Structure 1
Amino acid sequence: MSDVAPVFSHARSAALELPGTQLTHPFGPAWDVWKIQGKVFALLTEEAGKPMAIVKSDPLIGESLRLEFPLITPGYHMNKKHWITLVDGLPPEVIRELVTESYRLVVAKLPRRLRPIDPETFGRRR
């Protein structure tokens, strides 16, 4: 997996800044799988040499994002309603925000005692 792909570097740096995250490789070295409390919130891989990040998204927001950004597509190898795929060419701030939003969505489903952050307020712009 290429470490120089912009989508990888921006997604990785965003994931590293999030409290309590863990990088795993359950599908082998070609897949970086980022988790919080054992739950996946981001996957990074390449398909046919094309770097991509797959993140969780609210279905309505994901649909809007796909209309606004043609480089955002339904989640590769994931539920197409709840996951989106990000590729090189997207603005770095969009990649970072979508990784953070994916994290918030997953944390919101955790029992309160296991949440490292408040998903309603963490990382939100004021």
Structure 2
Amino acid sequence: MNIEQLRNYCLSKKGTTEDFPFDEDTLVFKVLGKMFVLAGLSKWERGEASINLKADPEYSQELRAEYESIRPGFHMSKKHWNTIYMHEGELSPEFIYKLIDHSYDMVLKGMSKKVRNSLLD
């Protein structure tokens, strides 16, 4: 997976926007204004691709126990965020997409029903 594939996948999700709220290096994808994917572009350029994704706390623990390339979120809440080190080659693109879907769903789940329903409009 390259950065354009990641970008295209994230932007294909309903209500998603991209932004650089922290600096010019950290690409952030948001659903209805809330972050669900963060990617440091300079790491991708160096061949050290990684992304931060939100996850259910119990699922986070399971993932970290099963995969060496999934670790507590770098510069994020360790309880709710994981860093996925994609350059290590352990995870298939399909599985990474599944993790992105989970992150997107977790962010939506935390929103009010009224806000979630705005995606249907």
Answer yes or no: same fold by TM over 0.5: yes
Summarize the alignment of residues 82-121 of structure 1 with structure 2, pairs less than 5 Å apart.
82-88=80-86, 89=89, 90-115=91-116, 116=119
Q: Which has the higher contact order (CA 8 A, sep 6+)?
A: 1
State which of 51, 54, 66 in structure 2 corresponds to 1:53. 51
Structure 1 residue 67 displacement after superposition: 1.4
| Equivalent position of 1:14 in the other structure | 9
2:29 partner amino acid: W
2:114 partner amino acid: R
Query: Alignment partner of 1:95: what SS?
Result: helix
Distance in structure 1 (CA, Å) of the matches to 2:99 and 2:59: 10
Q: TM-score, normalised by structure 1?
A: 0.80
Moved over 6 A (4+): none
Give percent identity, aligned residues only: 34
Distance in structure 2 (CA, Å) of the matches to 1:13 and 1:67: 30
Q: Which has the higher helix share?
A: 2
Query: Alignment partner of 2:49: what SS?
Result: strand
Distance in structure 2 (CA, Å) of the matches to 1:84 and 1:7: 19
